[in-house]
Structures are given as structure tokens and as C-alpha cells.
Amino acid sequence: MAKQMGLMGLGCFIFMMVALQINGASATTYVVGDSLGWTVPPNTSFYTEWSSSKTFHIGDKVLFNWTGNHNVAEVSSLAEYENCVNPGIVIGSPVTANLLENGSRFFICTVDDHCEAGQKVIITVGSPTNTSSTASPAPSPSSASSLSFGVIFTVLSSVVAYFFA
């Protein structure tokens, strides 16, 4: 009995380790703009370049860090983002957006003309949003997850086989 409990513990442990690997144990917090932070950028493509240099995953967070007179507002569409439409609601500071699902989130600063000057960013999780006619094709689904599921099944079958042997 003790031996069986031990085995069960081991099985659960292995299962959890593999499951963690699937979910990507390394959830990352990204500081928007890195060392520049959240401010009026040196050029209007700054945050677009910053964002496209990252690959965001479900479970990651983005942190807006600023000093001085800025804010963060989330708008609901690419059109509102492009037109710097002020939603009338700002998110309190410090602002951390939790990326809980695939898709694009649109963030702007509504102070003065900061948004028009490029203080806005699109955070896309999963397949890229069609933000231009030159939108790159979605990355093909990686074989990594199916591989990991294969590992889970192998491990589980081994544990089960051990029990019934």
C-alpha cells in the first residue's frame, strides 16, 4: 500500500511537471517600451516595433511604466486605435494587463495628442492581427504541444501499466 501511494505520488508529480511545461511555466511580464517605458516615443513606429519584437503568450502580462502625465486606456477595435478614440475610461496606475486569451488588445494614452504622436500599442497574443495589407501569415501551429501531449500519454500509460503489472 505504501509503495502504491509512493508510485501514485510519483505519477502525479511527473504529470504536473509535464503539464507545467505545456502551459509554459515561464509566464513573462513585459515592460512596454522596455527602458523607455510608456511615454511619447521618439517616432510613431516605436511601440509597433517594440511589440512586434516580442512574442506574447497566454498567461503573460504587460506592464505600463511611466512617470509624468500619461495614462493607459484600452480601446476595443483597430479602427478606434488608429483614430485615437478616447474611450473616456483610463486604467489606474500601475497598469498591468493580463493576457488571458488569444487576440489583439489596443492600448493608447489619452493625454493631449500623445496617441497621435505614437503613444499607443497593439498587444497580440497568438496569430497576428491583420493590421496592414502586408500582414504576415499566421505561424503554423507548432508541433511542440502535440509532442508534449504524446509525452503525457506515454508517461501516464507507463504509470498505469506499472500499477496493473
Which residues of this chain interact with ligand NAG, rule CB under 6 A? 31, 37, 42-43, 45-46, 63, 65, 67, 102, 126-127, 130, 133, 135, 138, 141
Compute the distance between CA of residue 100 and CA of residue 164 in angstroms, rounded to an integer. 40
C-alpha cell at 94: 500601475
User: Whole-angstrom Cα distance, residue 156 to residue 12?
Assistant: 9
> Which of residues 92 and 141 has its CB atom nearest to ligand NAG in the complex?
141
Q: Draw the binding track, 64-93, toward Cu ion (x: CB under 5 A; -: no contact).
A: ------x-----------------------
**Contact in structure between 74 and 107 (CB atoms under 8 Å):** yes
Q: Which does 92 bind (CB under 5 to 8 A by kind): ligand NAG, Cu ion, none?
A: none
Q: Judge contact between 6 and 42, C-beta under 8 A.
A: no
Binding site for Cu ion (CB under 5 A): 70, 109, 111, 114, 119
